[in-house]
Structure 1
């Protein structure tokens, strides 16, 4: 019966003693903590209690110190206000005396001599008054009296005028307002002791009569106006409105209490107030220096503080020692757990042998690899159960080398037999096993399954062989060499056939193709390492060029690219392809194009033959008429010398005209190589119009033209551009004939103006006619070769025109002109860049393909 009652009381006890017995609750909470946490709390508790005790001491000290500083501040404020009243009263007394002199001057009661006498009395009687000056209404000094202590630089001479200084500005202010003015000139470096200036106006019965200017010494004012007991207790100074020191010697700025060292030092308290009637331009400032150490000098306080610090230091040392021991214990546990986890999770098999070759330890990975359990392997002597039977002799020799210390750094490869009889390839690494005393107790072996890596290595070798076969069979030369080195890293079969096995051919291709191969630190977009572009190697674009190799007698297209070689070096790969046949085809095509251009000019002149004959008939008829007229007059004897000279000049002019027409036709149809020169636009237009006008007059078509002034030159073949203009004008005239326009609507307009296209400056040529325009089906095939809308046309005119324009890096287009929905004409236009733009493009193409002509 007793036992059940006891059990019931124990089960119901926690609910009652939780609040009634805090000590028991504390013991239960303490026991629930881990030993590590108990150690930490036991070490921290004394430290926390000492910290609270020191905080209480410091708080009490700060409270008492604040009370003491507040009392001192109130006393300082009262004393400074008292000193300010003394200075104010003394200034008001001097002000009243100066105003009395100004009033007597205004009423004419005193003159210059009396002013000097009264000024001398004031300066002698009151040390703060240094100078007394009478200034007339124009700012000119009438007379002045100064104390003997005033430096000569500050003396004012009679007749001198106040100019460009603070006194002149104050005088002007008094003159404008007729009020008293105090002013404090700014303190200058190297200037004499500052003086406070006071200006009192001299007001007559009707107008302003000048001022009486008094200058006070601030040092004397402070010395004689402020009681000596205040000067003994405080460092008193006078400052201007900007805070610059005028009189007195200040103490150092008040210290900020940041550590225990400065707590023992007295601090300076200060208070400042403006001095009336001067105002904010003059400030009285006092600084009090504490000499009593008060609570700071209390020995008991410092004794308690020192003992608290010593206790805290000892507790801190004990706590740090405990923490270090706990950290070492935690590190040992963590290291053990880490090594156990690493041992169980590592994929490398670990095996330990003693000095006799007995297996003493295997990890889980070793057992998993071989299929044998740890209890089966530990304690075995060679031959081990995982050895392959046909490798016993080889493995015994390796084990003998291992036990004798002859181990290879890179390990060795073995065949391992699993428990199920299957085999796998492995690599063993051997290292000595050293105990804590530095003695070797055996050998540690690590085994890695290399079956998959060996398979991949075999595949890579086969892939390399295939890749080499492909490169060797290429119809292009491939070579790789590091930048700035004469070593050839790779060369395929064709390269070796052309250049041998040296880097001479590689460097020749790089140099002749203008490809970068050396370090260049002068270019901003290149890296300082081997002159490579700042782009990554994988994104850097390749360079290419077409060169002629005389030794081979071949044209080669050379391409290069930067790459990172297998050993990490930066290298350059050069691929050279034989393009001799292509170059020959391009040259043949260029010759055929040239012949087509000449044929087109001949066809054009053939179509214009009747017009040219008609044009030549006029000068020839005129020559015949002039000759017949002179002969008939000679027979009659009526031909004078003047008439003969006139007739001969006319005949010569007509002959020259006929010769020019023939010469122009010959130069137009003459077959010649393309020759781009710096040509003036106006000259090309004039020569084209000279031939085109013949055709237009035959067709009764009016040819208008407009050429913009001061057009820059273009780099062009003038004959080819004239051929394009003549062809377009002739086509425009034919379009007008086909449209059968009336005489008022038969016109062709040529306009030449500057125009910017795609950011490039150039010149636009446009030929506009009043024909019936181009049908939609014709516009789609307008520039196709051998397409023509004329029955007798060959269809090469516009195609050649566009080819000529595009060879000059230009553009050509055609469009209909509309009046509402009605087609009222057509406009052909082409654009050619200026000479500077073309030269830039030519230079760029030369860099990319520097050898565009056959060197032969």
Structure 2
């Protein structure tokens, strides 16, 4: 803008608002100036429309306020009229009540005066004289009264008929109005209770009953009824008399306004139970004012629409320009940021375009490459003929879709491997103008591929040299994905051997019968869960190989995405034979332990047998001498023979129990009664304990479940523990009062498993802390004459029944006052399933030892 000419009037200061606005406007770009220039007329139209709306709204509100004031004033006037009418009727009933209190009138005179009142005032339906016990003494009802208000003298007023007004009048000793009564709102009545007193006592009420509809018709002035829609409503907004307008006939301020002209006020002296409400009649709008408003609004909206259309067109044009610039910049940035080299050739083989990635790969600049023809500077000298043939094929359109691999020479002379892809270059009119070539550096991927190939060869060599058979096959298919040398030696090249091993191991999942995928029947299964699961082991016997195999299976996702199963089978026949031999040796050790135990208890057993044998000898000698002297009767002889028989049976039971205990036999799990096993063990162990003057206190819980165990082995464990407890007490030298052993057997729950626990407590010196960890070792003993195999065998027997054994000292403060050996056997044992397996029965113990 040219500077203003010099005049006597000074130029406005640049810091004035006008100068600042002018500077701000000049700093805006043309697009922003166009936008603000479009917004100015739009803002003016909106301000004009807002002014019109505000003016019309203000006038309408003024009119509404005047009409609302008129409604409020008229409703208050009507309420006063209705109040005066109610007070007048109340005063007449109170005068009648005073005459009753003073006994100035009789029942006939009361009925006569009530009839006069009802005939004079139509809204009064009935007047009754009720005594203090709610008995109606006399009453008179209007002929137009509903049947419910016609009461007979001598009837009783129900409590719910007065809505509590009778009781309230009795308590307050003043006239009380009830709430509107009646099921039908249009036939609602209002009850007034005027109390009666006799010598200061409550004597009843004079009860007047009004028609709510009559109060409206005769109590509201006619001019109010003509001007407004008047109604009497209760506290629940139910219309009791009169009517209110529907929303379509109520006066509205504007077309979008729904505020009616109305006013409501409680009817005194009734209170909030009866409300007078009035609404102003208005059936038509101000057509001229509304028409003027809508015409101005339509013209303003049309102007705004035209301005917005112009603004939208301008914005679209500016946006199209900005999108074109952004698209050009984006394509240029994309070409410059690509790691793939791009090269464009015309139909004659001349370079017309290269991107920065191509220049970075070759080391040549764009100016040095554009316009060049073959041979190109990035061709190695020794590959000119080959690359020239490639270029000829490229220009002729004979390039392979998968691209081709070439060698490229950088500017510094170094060589790298690249792969090129060729596609025709088409212009916007659909004509081919040349060829577009993309080049990717594959030196590093090629090196990695060679290393992977070498790694695969090493991996295959390792798998082929394994002593285990390794195979991989899809689930539910005989196709073999991989098989090493040992597998091919055992089962050949087909997949039947893989399926046979999976079936023996029992780890093959079954596909859904609804699957219809012919390629992969297990498509859709949760493969992530299967592949993340750990490997599964099983020991099976392969009859065709006459070998014991340890089969380990695992699920994996094959290179083509299918779910596959890998099986590794190892020959464990020598180990199984060694385990069977170890089981036999362990069995012999158990038998030897029982023989040693009985050998140590031989003197006690001999003493125990000597008692019944001596008794038998005495009985026999006595019977012989008395028979010789003929001094015995048949009854005495029979009694002596029965005692002899019982002593012989006792000796036989002891011998039979010892023979069963020391007899060598295979482990034989069977359902066994816990109490019977404990009784058998106590019968043998108690002999040794009595010899050592040790008191045994057994406790066996009632209703214990039966256990799937070998009873002889469990009895051997109990006898060994009881014998060791007695020896510990004898070694400690405890006085007679402290020489006791406690045997407790009861149920227990360990980690959600029901077990039966056996515990043996003694009062010896306990086990030294440094020896607790070694007392289960073979040939280690805490006794000078011990062999060190008793506790070892006891622990093996317990663990062969899937139980556990532990030991702990008993303390009194810091002093050791005894020791407790305990073990538990699970109620739900797996021994039965293990003994029905194809392996030998003796292998169950070795399997448990190996698992431990």
TM tier, shorter chain?
Answer: 0.7 to 0.9
Alignment RMSD (CA, Å): 3.8
Matched with 1:182 is 177
Q: Please state how far the C-alpha of 1:282 moved relative to its aligned partner.
A: 2.2
Q: Please state how far the C-alpha of 1:618 moved relative to its aligned partner.
A: 1.1
Instruction: Give the whole-Å Cα distance in 2 for the aligned partners of 1:700 and 1:33.
Output: 116
**Secondary structure, in 3 states, of the residue corresponding to 2:446?**
helix
Matched with 2:356 is 364
Q: 2:320 aligns with which of 314, 328, 334?
A: 328
**Secondary structure, in 3 states, of the residue corresponding to 1:437?**
coil
Matched with 2:406 is 414
Instruction: Give the whole-Å Cα distance in 2 for the aligned partners of 1:674 and 1:255.
Output: 103
1:724 correspondence with 2:720: no
1:811 correspondence with 2:814: no
Q: Please state how far the C-alpha of 1:568 moved relative to its aligned partner.
A: 3.0
Structure-to-structure mapping, 1:128-527, within 5 angstroms: 128-141=123-136, 145-152=140-147, 161-163=156-158, 165=160, 167=162, 169-184=164-179, 193-205=187-199, 207-252=201-246, 262-263=255-256, 267-290=259-282, 293=285, 297=289, 299-388=291-380, 390-392=382-384, 394-483=386-475, 487-515=479-507, 517-518=509-510
Structure-to-structure mapping, 1:582-731, within 5 angstroms: 582-731=575-724
- 8 Å contact kept, 2:708–2:831: no
Q: Please state how far the C-alpha of 1:331 moved relative to its aligned partner.
A: 0.9
Instruction: Give the whole-Å Cα distance in 2 for the aligned partners of 1:594 and 1:351.
Output: 86
Matched with 1:828 is 820
Instruction: Give the whole-Å Cα distance in 1 for the aligned partners of 2:276 and 2:724.
Output: 103
CA deviations 1:742-764 (Å, max 9, x no partner) are: 33333322233444445655444
Provide closer, same or farther for how the CA distance between residues 311 and 279 of structure 1 changes in structure 2, counting only shifts above 3 A.
same
Q: 1:545 aligns with which of 535, 538, 560?
A: 538
Matched with 2:553 is 560
Provide closer, same or farther for how the CA distance between residues 644 and 181 of structure 1 changes in structure 2, counting only shifts above 3 A.
farther
Q: 1:773 aligns with which of 766, 770, 774?
A: 766
- 8 Å contact kept, 1:254–1:267: no
Q: 1:45 aligns with which of 32, 40, 49?
A: 40
Provide closer, same or farther for how the CA distance between residues 266 and 762 of structure 1 changes in structure 2, counting only shifts above 3 A.
closer
Matched with 1:91 is 86
Instruction: Give the whole-Å Cα distance in 2 for the aligned partners of 1:266 and 1:713.
Output: 86
CA deviations 1:166-211 (Å, max 9, x no partner) are: 53644444445444333336776x7873333333334334543334
Q: Please state how far the C-alpha of 1:274 moved relative to its aligned partner.
A: 2.0
Q: Please state how far the C-alpha of 1:645 moved relative to its aligned partner.
A: 1.4
Instruction: Give the whole-Å Cα distance in 2 for the aligned partners of 1:712 and 1:338.
Output: 82
Q: Between 325-334 and 758-767, report the one with greater CA deviation.
A: 758-767
Q: Please state how far the C-alpha of 1:483 moved relative to its aligned partner.
A: 4.2
CA deviations 1:484-519 (Å, max 9, x no partner) are: 555544333333444444444444444443336235
Matched with 2:30 is 35
Q: Between 409-418 and 288-297, report the one with greater CA deviation.
A: 288-297
Instruction: Give the whole-Å Cα distance in 2 for the aligned partners of 1:485 and 1:270.
Output: 87
- 8 Å contact kept, 1:430–1:444: yes
CA deviations 1:546-603 (Å, max 9, x no partner) are: 3333333333333333333323334333333333333333333233222222221111
- 8 Å contact kept, 1:476–1:577: yes
**Secondary structure, in 3 states, of the residue corresponding to 1:558?**
strand
1:738 correspondence with 2:731: yes
Q: Please state how far the C-alpha of 1:328 moved relative to its aligned partner.
A: 0.7
- 8 Å contact kept, 1:764–1:829: no
Provide closer, same or farther for how the CA distance between residues 851 and 80 of structure 1 changes in structure 2, counting only shifts above 3 A.
farther
Provide closer, same or farther for how the CA distance between residues 45 and 547 of structure 1 changes in structure 2, counting only shifts above 3 A.
farther
**Secondary structure, in 3 states, of the residue corresponding to 2:371?**
coil
**Secondary structure, in 3 states, of the residue corresponding to 1:445?**
strand
- 8 Å contact kept, 2:180–2:273: no
Provide closer, same or farther for how the CA distance between residues 429 and 128 of structure 1 changes in structure 2, counting only shifts above 3 A.
farther
Instruction: Give the whole-Å Cα distance in 2 for the aligned partners of 1:543 and 1:177.
Output: 92
- 8 Å contact kept, 1:266–1:290: no
**Secondary structure, in 3 states, of the residue corresponding to 2:38?**
helix
Q: Between 46-55 and 683-692, report the one with greater CA deviation.
A: 46-55
Q: Please state how far the C-alpha of 1:380 moved relative to its aligned partner.
A: 3.5
User: Structure 1, unaligned stretches of length 5 or more?
Assistant: 1-5, 522-527
Q: Between 389-398 and 642-651, report the one with greater CA deviation.
A: 389-398
Q: Between 228-237 and 781-790, report the one with greater CA deviation.
A: 228-237
Instruction: Give the whole-Å Cα distance in 2 for the aligned partners of 1:464 and 1:186.
Output: 100
Instruction: Give the whole-Å Cα distance in 2 for the aligned partners of 1:519 and 1:128.
Output: 89
Q: Please state how far the C-alpha of 1:297 moved relative to its aligned partner.
A: 1.8
Q: 1:64 aligns with which of 39, 59, 66?
A: 59
- 8 Å contact kept, 2:604–2:687: yes
Q: Please state how far the C-alpha of 1:741 moved relative to its aligned partner.
A: 3.2
Instruction: Give the whole-Å Cα distance in 2 for the aligned partners of 1:344 and 1:158.
Output: 112
- 8 Å contact kept, 2:742–2:761: yes
1:797 correspondence with 2:790: yes
- 8 Å contact kept, 2:536–2:553: yes
- 8 Å contact kept, 1:411–1:428: yes
CA deviations 1:681-715 (Å, max 9, x no partner) are: 33222222111111122222222223344444444
Matched with 2:519 is none
Q: Please state how far the C-alpha of 1:537 moved relative to its aligned partner.
A: 4.3
CA deviations 1:784-827 (Å, max 9, x no partner) are: 21112334321111122222233344333334444555544x22
Number of corresponding residues? 831
Q: Between 176-185 and 741-750, report the one with greater CA deviation.
A: 176-185
Instruction: Give the whole-Å Cα distance in 2 for the aligned partners of 1:467 and 1:321.
Output: 70
Matched with 2:781 is 788
Q: TM-score, normalised by structure 1?
A: 0.87
1:748 correspondence with 2:748: no
1:18 correspondence with 2:14: yes
Provide closer, same or farther for how the CA distance between residues 529 and 366 of structure 1 changes in structure 2, counting only shifts above 3 A.
closer
Provide closer, same or farther for how the CA distance between residues 496 and 121 of structure 1 changes in structure 2, counting only shifts above 3 A.
farther
- 8 Å contact kept, 2:53–2:293: no
CA deviations 1:381-431 (Å, max 9, x no partner) are: 444444445555544554444334444332222233444444332222222
Instruction: Give the whole-Å Cα distance in 2 for the aligned partners of 1:854 and 1:574.
Output: 25
Q: Please state how far the C-alpha of 1:622 moved relative to its aligned partner.
A: 1.2
User: Structure 2, unaligned stretches of length 5 or more?
Assistant: 514-521, 844-852
**Secondary structure, in 3 states, of the residue corresponding to 2:510?**
coil
Instruction: Give the whole-Å Cα distance in 2 for the aligned partners of 1:412 and 1:88.
Output: 109
Instruction: Give the whole-Å Cα distance in 2 for the aligned partners of 1:586 and 1:90.
Output: 117
- 8 Å contact kept, 1:267–1:289: no
Q: Please state how far the C-alpha of 1:619 moved relative to its aligned partner.
A: 1.1
Provide closer, same or farther for how the CA distance between residues 257 and 404 of structure 1 changes in structure 2, counting only shifts above 3 A.
farther
Q: Please state how far the C-alpha of 1:330 moved relative to its aligned partner.
A: 0.7
Provide closer, same or farther for how the CA distance between residues 108 and 852 of structure 1 changes in structure 2, counting only shifts above 3 A.
farther
Provide closer, same or farther for how the CA distance between residues 257 and 817 of structure 1 changes in structure 2, counting only shifts above 3 A.
farther
